[in-house]
Amino acid sequence: MDDIEVAASLRETLWIVLKLGGPLLVAALAVGLVVSLIQAVTQINEATLVFLPKLLVLGGALALLGPFMASSLADYTHVLMDRLIVVGGQ
């Protein structure tokens, strides 16, 4: 493997990380923002109040995006293993 292939593999790895983690992080961020706005408006300063809504939203996001995330990770794993076989054969 030369430098160009290594850079392409690294770029693809980072893209997969963003595809898998990004939607969940954005969902958690949005829920945290909404709950903190509600806490600011109602002046309820409870640190544990945000836990249950985040848990429910992340569970729903995983239920909706789980098949997409699993197929993306499986496809990437197949490509990576094929590259390892090619490198091992050289």
- Between the alpha carbon of residue 9 and those of residues 2, 47, 52, 65, 75, the distances in Å are 11, 41, 38, 24, 13
CA distance 58 to 53: 8
**Who contacts 31 (Cβ-Cβ below 8 Å, separation ≥6)?**
50, 53, 54, 57
For the stretch 31-78, pLDDT in tens is: 999 999 998 898 888 878 889 999 999 999 999 999 999 999 999 999
pLDDT of residue 18: 95
Q: Using 50, 70 and 90 to split pLDDT, how confident is the model at 88?
A: confident
For the chain, domain boundaries: 13-89
What whole-number distance in Å separates Cα of residue 26 and Cα of residue 15? 16
pLDDT confidence tier of residue 84, bands split at 50, 70 and 90: confident
